[in-house]
Amino acid sequence: MSAFLRVTRRRAVTAAVVLVLLAAATIWAVLPDRAAWSAQELRITVRSGPAGDQPVELDARFLLPRDRSGRVPAVLLAHGFGGSKDSVRPDAESLAERGYAVLTWTARGFGRSTGEIHLDSPDYEVRDAQRLLDWLAQRPEVRTDAPGDPRVGVVGGSYGGALALLLAGQDRRVDAIVPSITWNDLSHAFLPQSADTADTGVFKKGWAGVFFGASAGGGNPACGRFAADVCAAYLSMATTGVPDAATRELLRRSSPATVLDRIKAPTLLIQGAVDTLFPLSEADANARGIAANGTPVKVAWFTGGHDGGSGPGNDRDRVRYLTAQWLDHYLRGEGGAPGDDFTWSRVAGFSATDRDLVTNGYSTQAYPGVTGTGATGLDLTGPARRIANPPNGNPAAISALPGLGSRLSSLLSGNVATDVPGQHATFATAPLSGAIEVAGAPTVRLRAASPTGEAVLFVKLYDVDPAGTPTLSAGLVAPVRLTGLPADIARARPVTVTLPAIVREMAAGHTLQVVVATSDQGFLSPAAPATYTVAVDGQLTLPTLVGTPIASPAAAWWYALGALVLALLLGLAVLLLVHRARRRRRVTAVTKPYADTPLVVRGLRKAYGDGFVAVEEIGFTVERGQVVGLLGPNGAGKTTTLRVLMGLTSPTAGEIYVFGHRLVPGAQILSRVGALVEGPGFLPHLTGQQNLEAYWRATGRPWADARFAEALEIAGLGASVHRRTKNYSHGMRQRLAIAQAMLGLPELLVLDEPTDGLDPPQIAEMRRVLQRYATDGRAVLVSSHLLAEVEQTCTHAVVVNKGRIVAAGPVEEIVGESPSVAIEVTDVPAATEVLSGLGVRSVTADGASGLIVDMNGTPRAEVVASLVRAGVGVDRVVPRRRLEDAFLALVGDNSRGSGDR
């Protein structure tokens, strides 16, 4: 019988190995070849300018698919402002893998290209692109429709998106375009006006400054590599806030609005809902202008933009899918016509904190514009209010900072928006009786009076939860310049103000607030002080839109790959089951003094055959109820220690005890340890729940021991655990990995960089997860390079340097006392004077624009509000990383290691 069992075991092992090898070979065959293209670096000289005789040298890259038969269509891929050909390299490679010849280049005035920046001028940047079309038409690899006419699509975002529109309007050779997050009329984009009451809008000084600050180099320090006329236009507008005729003409010339009626290329317009630079209304104007000419147009809104990156992972997949579908049909004639249906998405939370971003996608048969297909009117209450406009708009309210809205919001209690007392009026609705799906531009009727006959106002829509926390959707604000106003509010006529289009679910029980402010940090306000009177007239109107939910698209091969990987996983499970009995025998004797201690490390050393010593001598203890942070510079030995702890490598010397059992590879005591050391990895076609179940089955442990509900509750995944992991954001995958480590609620949890890739709100939630876990006698060991997070999360810390422990103990003992904050301000002397009067313990200069403030119990919000009221600009407020100070004092200048091995 024993011989029969040995033969059966050998056969089972052999079958499992064969299955694994077959699955691996098949996976290798279906995976896309990441070297399926070749790239050529080029310097292309083109001639442009009004007369077409001015040479400029463009730094370019040309990619060709290796596996092609005959000529292939081409894609001209343009980058955003301040970028280069390298900024769009991943997209270029992806399109080349899909079978397109891709030409991307660094626009004139940027990077290694010569020339000056003319803001997508038809005479310069657009003509440069036309010469690149000529170049493509001469390539033997590129398909042509006629001599000199390449089969070509143009793809670009922001600066590159406007170029795609302008090029299509100026050159009929373009066969399809996919412009994203770009503008319609540059004069409206930088001088927006949200009511039809004045000829001139309000200058968007924040974003304009970002543009001109991103053009370093050239002979003019004030404007970098911008052309002289563009530089002069900016300096004039930034000074007066009102463009002259020459500036209007320059901005208009660089606007797609001037060529929409000439665009014949089928157009896919992709615009972000998190964008204070080019909001959804810009794409709406482009769509209507192009469609009026009978050209096929499709519009898609997504949850990214200039203020919100490129959106969560599943939304990026949707945008890539739509782009590929559009190009494949109009350049290669593949697939059915994409149609003119409209798709959009909004963020949907998956936990009680609603921090980890997942998007829900929807579609309708036709594009409704920014007015929606329905409307909900809500009564606003609140008396007429007098509000003051300070001199030069300082101090200014904050709605968003250019490109930093999401980052700064995490520093100010989850919302960047701040209004200055005395400078704003608030009008509120009653609590909502039910949820409202808002998709479009809300409107409100406003009355205003001014002793000067003019006023500049900023109108915002806040979503206020039952706890009183307001959220300004995407940091969007409606600037309004009003003229011809009476001095008495009773004589004021109502003006309809159109707020920026948003995509948001207003939840039941929330209230909405319309705030009218006199200043905003992102805009140029009137220099003269004045007092206005404002009131609302009638209702707040919210556009609504109902659509059909859509799934995130994915290539078909992912499903085949998922099935094969599942086969691989099952094969590995067979191996694990066969050897389960052997593992069970590897139970070590209990060392009684450590029997109730989760982890004891004594005299650990790890040396490699080449003489490199990763760990010299390390010893520490992790007790029940503790969250212990393992810290050290690169090469200190942190990851090596964790690998030894999990049995992934063997130590050269020393001992590790887990609950009194001496640890050896495969020891049964490891079943009481949960770990995330080598990073998360999941099957994309399975849901989070299915991935966890497959993992648990592979362990061979009893199903009842998994305790899925408790692990998921601690990790905070909520309903999102039932979504496919291919739709997960990076933060969700991290949480799922933590949940996987928590299955069975192991008494010791070991995590290597659990907050890797998470944004600040997600990190804060992970902090709470780990602190909740270290209860009921459990313990956590976490390795992290985020010292401020370790300080707030861990009860104890172990600091490692050069393979040895240099400090260990409670965090507060290593750090010391007196918490403080670091503040970056625009006026250090003025800020010092303000802070000194607040009762803080000390204010210390930290560089040219920084201060270290010992708060002495003063609330951080009070500090920020006091500085803003005093007219001091606040760029950054962060907790003083005092553990970092202690860490640097302990490890010295040993921050440049060779990395753990």
Q: Domain coordinates of the chain in residue numbers?
A: 1-30+558-585, 189-252, 372-546, 587-815, 820-879
CATH T-level topology, domain 372-546: Jelly Rolls (2.60.120)
What pLDDT score was predicted for residue 287? 95
> Residue 44: is it exposed, middle or buried by C-beta count within 10 angstroms (0-12/13-18/19+)?
middle
Instruction: Give the number of other CB atoms < 10 A from CB of residue 19.
Output: 17
Rounded CA separation 508/843 (Å) = 45
Rounded CA separation 412/238 (Å) = 28
Rg (CA), the chain: 31
Per the rule left: phi > 0, alpha: psi between -120 and 50, beta: everything else, 397 is beta
CATH number assigned to the domain with residue range 587-815, chosen from the 4 options 3.30.420.10, 3.40.50.300, 3.90.1150.10, 3.40.190.10: 3.40.50.300
DSSP E strand boundaries for 152-217: 152-157, 174-180
* 8 Å CB contact between 763 and 738: no
Rounded CA separation 33/476 (Å) = 42
Rounded CA separation 512/509 (Å) = 10
CA distances from 60 to 43, 102, 142, 355, 715 (A): 6, 10, 17, 40, 47
| Sheet bearing 850-854, strands edge to edge | 842-845, 850-854, 820-825, 874-879
CA distances from 263 to 76, 258, 523 (A): 17, 10, 33
Rounded CA separation 593/660 (Å) = 7
CA distances from 31 to 34, 564, 684 (A): 9, 11, 14
Rounded CA separation 798/449 (Å) = 64
* Residue (of 104, 410, 79, 56) closest to 214 by Cα position: 79
Instruction: Take residue 625 and report the two structure tokens written for it.
Output: 């109820």
What pLDDT score was predicted for residue 880? 62
Rounded CA separation 530/377 (Å) = 32
Rounded CA separation 463/242 (Å) = 33
- The amino acid present at 651, given as its one-letter code, is P
Fold equal for 372-546 and 587-815? no
Rounded CA separation 264/165 (Å) = 10
- The amino acid present at 329, given as its one-letter code, is H
Which residues of the chain are under the pLDDT cut of 70?
1-35, 213-219, 309-314, 347-359, 403-416, 551-591, 665-666, 678-680, 714-715, 757-760, 762, 786, 788, 815-819, 878-901
Hey, which residues does 875 pair with through a beta bridge?
none
CA distances from 785 to 366, 639, 764 (A): 49, 12, 15
Q: What is the 3-state secondary structure (H, E, C) of 699-727?
A: HCCCHHHCCHHHHHHHHCCHHHHHCEHHH
Rounded CA separation 828/841 (Å) = 17
What pLDDT score was predicted for residue 446? 95
Angle ∠(330,334,335) on CA atoms, nearest 5? 100
How many H-runs (helices) and E-runs (strands) does the chain carry? Answer: 23, 39
In this structure, what are the phi and psi dihedrals at residue 272, rounded to the nearest 5 degrees? -95, 145
> Is the peptide bond prior to 395 cis by the omega test (within 30 degrees of 0)?
yes
Rounded CA separation 266/257 (Å) = 16
Q: How many CA atoms lie within 13 A of 628 on its CB side?
A: 26
* 8 Å CB contact between 329 and 336: yes
Instruction: Give the number of other CB atoms < 10 A from CB of residue 302.
Output: 28
What pLDDT score was predicted for residue 101? 96
What pLDDT score was predicted for residue 473? 86
| Sheet bearing 613-622, strands edge to edge | 661-662, 653-658, 599-607, 613-622, 804-810, 796-801, 627-631, 779-783, 748-752, 673-676
CATH number assigned to the domain with residue range 820-879, chosen from the 4 options 3.40.720, 1.10.3470, 1.10.10, 3.30.70: 3.30.70
What pLDDT score was predicted for residue 103? 97
* 8 Å CB contact between 479 and 460: no
Instruction: Take residue 748 and report the two structure tokens written for it.
Output: 């010791």
What pLDDT score was predicted for residue 637? 79
* Residue (of 206, 207, 225, 204) closest to 216 by Cα position: 225
* Residue (of 216, 212, 200) closest to 238 by Cα position: 212
Instruction: Give the number of other CB atoms < 10 A from CB of residue 385.
Output: 16
Instruction: Take residue 293 and report the two structure tokens written for it.
Output: 């000419």
What pLDDT score was predicted for residue 572? 61
State the pairing for strand pair 101-105/842-845. Answer: unpaired
What pLDDT score was predicted for residue 861? 75
Burial 560-591 (b: 16+ CB within 10 A, else e): ebbebbbbbbbbebbbeebeeeebeeeeeeee
In this structure, what are the phi and psi dihedrals at residue 144, rounded to the nearest 5 degrees? -125, 150
What pLDDT score was predicted for residue 294? 93
- DSSP structural state of residue 220: B
Instruction: Take residue 686 and report the two structure tokens written for it.
Output: 């399975």
DSSP codes, 786-838: -HHHHHHH-SEEEEEETTEEEEEEEHHHHH-S--EEEEEES-HHHHHHHHHTT
Rounded CA separation 309/359 (Å) = 14
In this structure, what are the phi and psi dihedrals at residue 339, rounded to the nearest 5 degrees? 80, 180
What pLDDT score was predicted for residue 416? 62
Rounded CA separation 716/356 (Å) = 10
What pLDDT score was predicted for residue 32? 42
* 8 Å CB contact between 761 and 579: no
Burial 74-86 (b: 16+ CB within 10 A, else e): bbbbbbbbbbbbe
Q: What is the 3-state secondary structure (H, E, C) of 272-335?
A: ECCCCCCCHHHHHHHHHHHHCCCCCEEEEEECCCCCCCCCCHHHHHHHHHHHHHHHHHHHHCCC
In this structure, what are the phi and psi dihedrals at residue 227, rounded to the nearest 5 degrees? -65, 160
CA dihedral 753, 755, 760, 761 (to 10 degrees): -160
